Amino acid sequence: MCIADPTPDPLFTQQTITRRMGKFTLHSRPYTLVLRHVFTIASGSRSTTPVVLVRLDYDGVSGYGEASMPPYLGESHESVMAFLSKVDLRDFDDPFQTAAILAHIDGLSERDTAAKAALDIALHDLLGKLMGQPWHRIWGYDPTKAPHTSFTIGIDTAEVVRKKVAEAAPYQILKVKLGLDTDKMMIETIREVTDKPLCADINQGWKNRDAALDMAHWLAERGVVFLEQPMPKTQIDDNAWLTERSPIPTVADEAVQRLADVRRAWGAYSGINIKLMKCTGLREAHQMAELARALDMKVMLGCMTETSCAISAAAQLAPAVDWADLDGALLIDNDVFRGMEIAAGRVVPPNAPGIGVSVR
Amino acid sequence: MCIADPTPDPLFTQQTITRRMGKFTLHSRPYTLVLRHVFTIASGSRSTTPVVLVRLDYDGVSGYGEASMPPYLGESHESVMAFLSKVDLRDFDDPFQTAAILAHIDGLSERDTAAKAALDIALHDLLGKLMGQPWHRIWGYDPTKAPHTSFTIGIDTAEVVRKKVAEAAPYQILKVKLGLDTDKMMIETIREVTDKPLCADINQGWKNRDAALDMAHWLAERGVVFLEQPMPKTQIDDNAWLTERSPIPTVADEAVQRLADVRRAWGAYSGINIKLMKCTGLREAHQMAELARALDMKVMLGCMTETSCAISAAAQLAPAVDWADLDGALLIDNDVFRGMEIAAGRVVPPNAPGIGVSVR
């Protein structure tokens, strides 16, 4: 069992809000991740990502969690800290009441999914430590079944793209951001320097279904293995039309946030992308993965720019998915956790209890 | 942690086959349950039920399991013992490889679902003990959410039915077996002596959909809350037609055995009945319950005539279901386990690690 260190946790000294709630104590601290490269996708560019780090203590045991708030999703340091200040776990004296605790937290607001995920991750870390097992073992998964992780190449000039491909040498599959008018240039530039399999993340960038189908064929011929969110999520019929005809699977990303969205995506997409920050955390992510499997859908596991905390939480589910895109912690310069490792490009879910992280 | 007693387990002395398989040891023993009353449903009558009791040992810890084989389902002492003799866990040195171990076992034959369930239950008991928690806590459920259990009244003479209703005094909901030409007599006899809510288990006994709908209305007016497997499972369209029009929900029993059947039942029934002996055990049962929830279907938890071993395993899932029919151990005279209790008619999932049973 991982007992909370009696010496102060270096992560939670500065800017930290500490609240006692009955048998639980919650520490939370805003933090800013610095990206290694300015990152461009169809919707914009950025060089930092705000996160909030949390620690949930119960009976001398601590669980770590994290909220990551890429600005286009609407959460921020302020909104997450405000949400966390509303949470009161005084009515719960048993952390194993996971369903009830998380339903209570979810009911506090309509959105705030990253803030909710921070608490869910910390609770799972705590519970896994109380049981002495990592969650991939509690769920009965074989960690050697975890897939390779893709390494993301943002939309950029040919020169930068070539540099990023070189940087991605340890990875066996690359994820290419598409959706602007530079799509063919991006792929051709990459294909000049590598024949690794690619996945294409269009981020809703294609608007016309006939052009989308043409591109799907063009990309399939160039070793692209799936299309992530090819068309706007509101164009449900167009995405379904494309899914039916595309030579490679389609994966819903923006169109699927939570468990209830999976059923709606059935038929319109070949698979779903699960991200902890969108679905409120590990409990719902696990339910989404199992549901998608039961509906014969493909499952991809994605991330935001995150420290090894949220990444290692996601890695618990990796053995149950087809494709993993867990490079979030690789893209930052100031990770504060150690956890999930990558061996020859493959995700290695950590073997320590809970989510398996330690503070650097 | 529950260490295997160094004194011989009294359950596994007679007629026991013991096999060492690498780090695992499996004990198995045929046993015959004696019913308190001769039991009649639409398909026949009987006074005993064959079961096989198993114990899976790993690293000094023991997990208990049970297969129950009501004869109409096609398994027997011989078939279960033969199946268990084929199982070899030598390739697995870690009991937490649940998905891989159970997939291996499931792949050994097409059916033998009760034999498979015995191993799944024993493995879950073992794992829960290794983690120091009952499965309802590992799954994050609130045990106080477990429903009342129904008490089953078989098809019989008015005199015996009245006697059974009196015997059912501690239970808040009765399950009435229907499907012969005595349906109205059964209900009228019960309504002479009690106004408790009833559920009707027709066991595919109704063949005509118009007559079925008439009966559904007649039963709803008399306080029946749902219809279990009203028409033959092969009459898919008739069951769907009835579900669409019935004033009370329909629940698939014979039509749903395993996870893959749940998706097919969606639309044709309002809910599903999950039985460990049909679905190969707790792992798949938990997946079925979560899938049905995600599809907005009702969930019922059923049982065979079983000892408190298999019943206590099923009770782990009770907090996640709408209706429980876990009276299997109450109907027998020679239970060899203690485990799930019933308090004022309500299922109380045991609070001990694993499935929470001890040998009587």
**At which of A133, A168, A193 does a domain end?**
A133
Residue of A nearest to B140 (CA): A98
- Cβ separation of A99 and B140 shorter than 8 Å? yes
**pLDDT tier at A10, thresholds 50, 70, 90:** confident
**Do A307 and A245 sit in the same domain of this protein?**
yes
CATH of the domain at A319: 3.20.20.120
Residue A59 pLDDT grade (very low, low, confident, very high; cuts 50, 70, 90) = very high
Q: Taking residues A219-233, what's their average pLDDT? A: 97
The angle, 0 to 180 degrees and rounded to 10, between the axes of the packed helices B183-193 and B158-167 is 50
Nearest to B100 among A96, A102, A142 (CB): A142
- Report how far apart, in Å, the C-alpha atoms of A285 and of each of A2, A260, A315, B32 are: 25, 11, 11, 43
Confidence tier at A11 by pLDDT (50, 70, 90): very high
B263: nearest CB among A98, A142, A294: A294
Q: Are residues A148 and A97 in the same domain?
A: no
Look at A133 and B137 and tell me if their CB atoms are within 8 Å: no
pLDDT (0 to 100) of residue B210: 97
B1 in any annotated domain: no
Residue range(s) defining the domain that contains residue B101:
10-132
| A-chain residues near B140 (CB < 8 A) | 96-99, 102, 283
Tell me: do A164 and A118 sit in the same domain. Answer: no
Rounded CA gap, B84 and A305, in Å? Answer: 49
Residues A67 and A128 in one domain: yes
Pick the residue of A138, A256, A284 with the most B CBs within 10 A to test the interface with B by mutation.
A138
In Å, how far is B281's CA from the nearest CA of chain A?
A: 14
Q: A2 falls in which pLDDT band (50, 70, 90)?
A: very low
**What number is the average pLDDT over the span A286-302?**
97
CA distance A33 to chain B (A): 32
Domain total of chain A = 2
pLDDT of residue A144: 96
Same domain, B171 and B314: yes
Of B133, B137, B287, the CB nearest to A294: B287
Give the model confidence (pLDDT) of A19-55 as tens digits: 999 999 999 999 999 998 777 666 677 899 999 999 9
From chain B, the residues in CB contact with A289 under 8 A are none
pLDDT, position A156? 87
* Residue A303 included in any domain: yes
On chain B, the residues whose CB falls within 8 A of the CB of A294 are 259-260, 262-263, 287, 291
What are the tokens at A135? 């969650």
Joined tokens for residue B64: 């208990």
CATH number at residue B67: 3.30.390.10
Mutation site for B-interface testing, chosen from A94, A96, A129 by largest number of B Cβ within 10 Å: A96
Same domain, A78 and A161: no
Token pair, residue A254, equals: 């923006």
* A331 DSSP 8-state letter: G
Which residue in the block uniquely carries the two structure tokens 């782990």? B316
SS3 B208: coil
Tell me: do B65 and B147 sit in the same domain. no
Name the percent of chain B lying above pLDDT 70: 97
Question: Which of A68, A102, A133 is at the close of a domain?
Answer: A133
Structure-token match 């290692």, residue found = A312
Q: What are phi and psi of A115, to 5 degrees?
A: -60, -40
pLDDT in tens, B194-238: 999 999 999 999 999 999 999 999 999 999 999 999 999 999 999
Chain B residues touching chain A at CB-CB below 8 Å? 96-100, 102, 131-133, 137-142, 259-260, 262-263, 283, 287, 290-291, 294-295
pLDDT tops 70 at residue B303: yes
Instruction: Name the minimum distance, in Å, from the CA of A172 to any CA of chain B.
Output: 25
* A202 assigned to some structural domain: yes
Provide residues of A within 8 Å CB-CB of chain B.
96-100, 102, 131-133, 137-142, 259-260, 262-263, 283, 287, 290-291, 294-295
